[in-house]
Amino acid sequence: MKPYNNRAWFLVLPVFLIVAFSAILPLMTVVNYSVQDTFGNNEFFWNGIGWFKELLDPKSELGGRFIDAMGRNFIFSFLILAIEIPLGIAVALAMPRQGIGVSISLVLLALPLLIPWNVVGTIWQVFGRADIGLMGWALTGMGIDYNYVSGVLAAWITIIMMDVWHWTSLVVLLCYAGLRAIPDAYYQAARIDGASRWAIFRAIQLPKMNRVLVIAVLLRFMDSFMIYTEPFVVTGGGPGNATTFISIDLVKIALGQFDLGKAAALSLVYNLIILTVCWVFYTIMTHFENAERRMQS
């Protein structure tokens, strides 16, 4: 008879070690920094939850910066979702369902996704310049006052257009996969039922895309809320602080001012915000489905 023991747990050990080194230990370092202050020379002083208090107090310098940046982040993510999700659905609906056009459009759509973030930033930085960039030159030529270095609105429009250009493809590809999974019989039945194009969308396509849309919204929210590289390359957070998102401010605090304690506290709160918002999104978007399942059982 084989002895009963718990030795199988050893099999989990490699995973545990990898996760510890890749995630838990670095995170703990950040937690450690967040409760201390440093003036350089690798000397640290205990500060307790001081940084967190300051961070959440809008009247303090740090808190004010943080609240402002967070506001910008939410506005940015909101605009991104409001543009990219409907646009992605629309493009997916317009894509060919068969023939050579499918491969061509898939490749074209995948292209922006394959470009590294800082290259995307550089492309748009050049594209928007009035002297050598096609868009900047054309807009200025038409008499429109467009300058993303000095104009707040121009800077925002530029980074939003850049993100839409870069990431709408992801939404399109997800939606397209969802659409392709709908059996032909649904469309045939809808034709027999005399459904209009809009009715087909409402009654068949949108409900069948439900799941992929949850994923698309989550991915695009997380990604846009953590945006750093592209605005950093294009505007550097300016003009003024107009496009300074939390991530950009975080880098300024951590590496520019070398305030490791403040930066660590900010990182943790930033992380928690993303987790919380994602959880809320996910819960809301899957709520109806769960409610339905409960009703059936």
- The answer to whether residues 158 and 234 touch, using CB atoms and an 8 Å cutoff, is yes
**Residue whose CB is less far from other proteins, 100 or 142:** 100
Of 108, 93, 77, 119, give the one whose Cα is nearest residue 224.
77
| Smallest distance from other proteins to CB 179, Å | 15
How many helices and strands, by DSSP H and E, does the chain display?
Answer: 14, 2
Write out the residues near other proteins by the rule CB under 8 A: 183, 185-186, 188-189, 191-196, 199, 203-204, 207-208, 292, 295-296
Smallest distance, other proteins to C-beta of residue 297, A: 9
Residue 195 Cβ, how far from other proteins at the closest point, in Å? 5
* Identity of the residue, 26 or 180, whose beta carbon is nearer to other proteins in the bound complex: 180
Taking the complex as a whole, the smallest distance from the CB of residue 99 to other proteins amounts, in Å, to 14
Q: Which residues contact 109 (CB under 8 A, 6 or more apart)?
A: 91, 169, 172, 173
Contact 149, 159 (CB under 8 A): no
CB of 171 to other proteins, least distance (A): 21
Instruction: Considering the complex, state which of residue 139 and residue 203 has its C-beta at the smaller distance from other proteins.
Output: 203
Task: Name the residue nearer to other proteins (CB basis): 142 or 192.
Answer: 192
Half-sphere exposure of 288 (CA within 13 A, CB side): 6
Nearer to other proteins, 2 or 293 (CB): 293
Q: Which two tokens stand for residue 218?
A: 């989550």
